[in-house]
Amino acid sequence: MTEVAANPAEGARDDFPTFGNFIGGEWRPAESGRTFESRNPADTRDVIGRFAASDAADVAAAIRAAEEALPGWRSTPAPKRGEIMYAFGALLAEHKERLARAMTREMGKVLAEARGDVQEGVDIAYLMAGEGRRMFGDTTPSELPNKWAMSIRQPIGIAGIITPWNFPIAIPCWKMSAALITGNVVVLKPASDTPHCAALLVELMHEAGFPQGTVNVVTGSGEEVGMPIVESPDVNVISFTGNGATGREIYVRGARRLKRLSLELGGKNAIAVMADADLDLAVEGILWSAFGTTGQRCTACSRVVVDETVADALVGRLVDRAARLRLGPGVESTTDVGPLINSEALKKVATYVEVGTEEGARLATGGEPTSDLAALEHGHFYSPTILDGVRPMDRVAQEEIFGPVLSVIRVHGYEEAAMVVNGTRYGLSSSIYTTDTNTAFRAMNDFATGIVYVNAGTIGAETHLPFGGMKGTGNGHREAGHAALDTFTEWKSIYVDYSGRLQRAQIDNQ
Ligand code: NAP
């Protein structure tokens, strides 16, 4: 986040736009007047725009707007809320190409993947629109005669949504659509690397008909905007996706106020390749999972756990294919792998590759920033990298790198593979390649991750199933599917006694 000390009203230049916060249905500059720039990671000379560098005063204004909107929105019938949600999904679909291009420019992923990111927003909007007509509770027999028993979901109130840059449309959509359909109102703080995507998103939400104040967006740093949202006594539920260290800090601070908190954190996802695997299929799945989105997916494969008997054959093919992946700006159709998000990410990846080789791994391919290539010199590019001979407890096999670096760990048989797959503090996604049905079913049961794939890569979740991780990847909540409704609703149990006399539950029927 590069801060610019200009007043946005005066500082706007002709060649790139200035955006404020979206509060109470209107755009407003930060109260301090400060701004920051968002730049294209494939060419940092390309400034996308200036955005409000907000602080607690702007957060307070957004929360006030949300408070005002809450009574009207929570009393709007859920099917009506669903109609607005559906209109939003349709607008996202209509503007998919424009949003995808803006996303590629702002965070670097190749266009096809950016379109997929927007499509996830469309999918969740349609799914949640349908929830407006479902949102099932239970009706259940009472233990007493002439008595009705049922449960309903109710909104929690104001939802603080804090999101990362790697899925700048999909993740805000996943969270906001579940929050809104259930009758909550939202204050969104998007990542400082992707404020433009958030601005485009909220414009469409406004156009779809979400009433003013139901969706508010405040841009700025984690400390100055994210933390005031977490600390506010008026924000009742926090949904956060990001790295583990930030998530833990948010958990601790939110817990002091007994907030509902949903955390989706890092991963160290593994693909196990058994001796009987279809290696051609495995190579495709591994390459896509490890180097798609430049390895910057929470579900990206960063460990291949391969049976020693097929390890040389697998590594040979992976290296051959990885070395031929073409780096470049995501907007170009010839590009397979786009840039990393920023210079810190580039540094982090390079450092981890050094750590890996110092720990004894063999650099099988890659291992260098590519800024020396003239065409890429202004972007944060790093070659797809494979480290072979990594040991299960090495740092590169344990810590999230979040870049195009794949560690190959060699094992003997399924038992050892399962132990290694499960041998990290994370538990988001895993996969097994095998042609043996029994082994596949054992893995489905044994792998300690929220998502398990069989004969497919570790990425590619579908929005009607729950999404999230076990162990250090989160705190047990799930996004997407109807599981997402649990984050944003309170259960209320309702009893109606129509017997016309006093019936004492737990006493009369003893
Ligand atoms: P991050 O640094 O934790 O940032 C995530 C969000 O939190 C950003 O909006 C950030 O704001 C904000 N933030 C930072 N410090 C904060 C603080 N002290 N208080 C409140 N908010 C704060 O994570 P990231 O680097 O953007 O994202 C990558 C991480 O997300 C990876 O670990 C990845 O695995 C994880 N991820 C997980 C999932 C999942 O579903 N499990 C999905 C996608 C990504 P600024 O941008 O202003 O710093």
Q: List the catalytic residue out of 113, 298, 301, 479.
A: 298
Please say if 106 is a catalytic residue: no
pLDDT of residue 10 exceeding 60, the answer is: no
Average pLDDT, the chain: 95
Q: What integer pLDDT is reported at residue 16 of this predicted model?
A: 81
Which pairing describes strands 385-388 and 362-365: parallel, antiparallel, or unpaired?
A: antiparallel
Amino acid at 173: C
264 lines ligand 1 (CB under 6 A): yes
Q: How far is the CA of 310 from the centre of ligand 1 (A)?
A: 37
pLDDT of residue 4 exceeding 90, the answer is: no
Q: How far is the CA of 80 from the centre of ligand 1 (A)?
A: 33
**For the whole model, what pTM was predicted?**
0.95
- Sheet containing 139-141: which strands, arranged edge to edge? 139-141, 147-155, 489-497
162 lines ligand 1 (CB under 6 A): yes
106-123: buried (b, 16+ CB within 10 Å) or exposed (e) per residue? bbbbbbebbbbbbbbbbb
Q: Quick: pLDDT tens for 306-362.
A: 999 999 999 999 999 999 999 999 999 999 999 999 999 999 999 999 999 999 999
Q: How far is the CA of 241 from the centre of ligand 1 (A)?
A: 6
- Eight-state DSSP code of residue 8: H
Q: Which atom of ligand 1 is nearest to the CA of 190?
A: 9
Q: In which band, very low, low, confident or very high, does the pLDDT at 2 lie, cut at 50, 70 and 90? A: low
Task: Indicate the burial class of 152 (C-beta count within 10 angstroms; 0-12, 13-18, 19 or more).
Answer: middle
In this structure, the residue with its CA closest to atom 28 of ligand 1 is 242
In this structure, the residue with its CA closest to atom 43 of ligand 1 is 298
Q: Which atom of ligand 1 is nearest to the CA of 244?
A: 32
242 lines ligand 1 (CB under 6 A): yes
Q: Quick: pLDDT tens for 132-144.
A: 999 999 999 999 9
In the three-class reduction of DSSP (H, G, I as helix; E, B as strand; rest coil), residue 227 is classed as helix
In this structure, the residue with its CA closest to atom 15 of ligand 1 is 222
469 lines ligand 1 (CB under 6 A): yes
Cα dihedral 170, 175, 178, 183, rounded to 10, equals: -130
Please say if 264 is a catalytic residue: yes
Q: What integer pLDDT is reported at residue 326 of this predicted model?
A: 94
